[in-house]
Structure 1
Amino acid sequence: MPDLRVLVVDDQEPFRRAMRAVVDETEGFVVVGSAGSGEESLAMATELLPDLVLMDVNLPGIDGIEATRRLRAGAQPPVVILLSTYDEDQFDLAGCGAASYIAKAVFGPDRLSEAWAGACP
């Protein structure tokens, strides 16, 4: 079975590198691209067709919640997992179509694998 294609989205380069490192350490996943904004994530997702998008909630311009809503409305939507340094209850995540939310502080290979397994149809 081919590796799951992952798009990493965060406006801060250190977090993009950290998410990439987690994906690289997780068997069966491969990073196919990274984006620094919601707008860039939409364009890259159309081009790269990822299976999974790791989306920061707080992005300049189109935030991660709206970008997720738009990605999930597409013909072949990727699974989207939202990440943030803030607590989940500080956002209105209902209805955006995200499969799950993971706090950046606890994001690692095990959490990534669990979130993917919980999102699989």
Structure 2
Amino acid sequence: MDSQQVTSEVPESDVRTLVVDDSEAFLEVAADVLGATPGFVSVGVVSSPDAALGLLVSREPGLAIIDVHMPQMDGLELTRRFKELRPETAVALISADDPEHLPPGVRDSKADAVIDKRHFGPRWLRSLLPRLASH
């Protein structure tokens, strides 16, 4: 899988979703889940925070799913930058850490949601729809 996969055609009614994670395996899962979940469409599945910042401006996602732990820039810093550049984009931080072992600052970040990677899937995405509608 290309770590900078971008979709060009996006239906107007779908939630434009950008996924940022340094795990190629998770990016593949995320692309599959987004493709199988009605109401959501991928506008990018990338491993680089810099690529994500570029797509934030050019693709205008309604939802960004950002890994907490990345080598170039952690998810907290990337969330802060996303909210500065495009506050209307909802951000969900995602981590394989147990919720009680998340790094300091995650709960106080400007993220709109925090999810354990083990719960990521169509049901979780659909649970976000009411929150995204009011965002």
Per the normalisation by structure 2, the TM-score is 0.81
State how far apart, in whole Å, the 1-side matches of 2:43 and 2:86 are.
Answer: 20
Find 1:9's aligned residue among 17, 20, 45: 20
Contact 1:35/1:44, CA 8 A, preserved across alignment: no
Is residue 51 of structure 1 aligned with residue 65 of structure 2?
A: no
Contact 2:56/2:86, CA 8 A, preserved across alignment: no
Aligned position for 2:30: 19
Find 2:122's aligned residue among 99, 109, 114: 109
- CA-based RMSD of the aligned residues comes to 1.7
Contact 2:92/2:111, CA 8 A, preserved across alignment: yes
Cα distance change on mapping 1:95 and 1:120 into 2, 3 Å: farther
TM alignment of 1:74-89, pairs within 5 A: 74-89=85-100
CA distances 1:38-88 after superposition (whole Å, capped 9, x unpaired): 222112211111111111111112111110111012245311111111123
Q: CA deviation at 1:116?
A: 3.6
Matched residue count? 121
User: How much identity, in percent, do the aligned residues show?
Assistant: 33
Give 3-state SS (helix, strand or coil) of 1:68's partner. Answer: helix
Structure 2: stretches of 5+ with no match in the other structure? 1-11
Structure 1: stretches of 5+ with no match in the other structure? none
Regions of 4+ moved over 4 Å: none
Larger CA deviation: 86-95 vs 20-29: 86-95
Amino acid of the structure 1 residue aligned with 2:96:
T
State the structure with more CA Rg: 2
Larger CA deviation: 35-44 vs 106-115: 35-44
Amino acid of the structure 1 residue aligned with 2:14:
D
Find 1:60's aligned residue among 66, 71, 90: 71
Is residue 69 of structure 1 aligned with residue 83 of structure 2?
A: no
State how far apart, in whole Å, the 1-side matches of 2:119 and 2:89 are.
Answer: 23
Q: CA deviation at 1:119?
A: 4.4
Amino acid of the structure 2 residue aligned with 1:102:
I
Per the normalisation by structure 1, the TM-score is 0.89
